[in-house]
Amino acid sequence: MKIVEKYKCDVCGTEYKDRKDATECENGHKKAKKIIKQVHQPHNLNMSGYPLKIEVEMSDGTKLMYKRG
């Protein structure tokens, strides 16, 4: 019987044989830092109440707009 040791990225869940590779994967992911803006539709058009778009600032300072699909 063999003991198999794996390392898993806490962000995306990818498994690696090498700890260094898993650490690089984790550190390579950009994370949302804060929501800058939310775009909503009137209640009669979107009864769910969820925003149509959000603009976020990422951990590296980049600003991105995400649109609900």
Which helix (H) or strand (E) segment holds residue 65: the answer is strand 63-67
Residues 17 and 3 in one domain: yes
Q: pLDDT tens digit string along 11-36?
A: 999 999 999 999 999 999 999 999 99
Residues 35 and 64 in one domain: yes
For the chain, the domain total comes to: 2
pTM: 0.68
Q: State yes or no: pLDDT of 69 exceeds 90.
A: no
Residues 52 and 20 in one domain: no
Structural domain boundaries, residue 48: 31-69
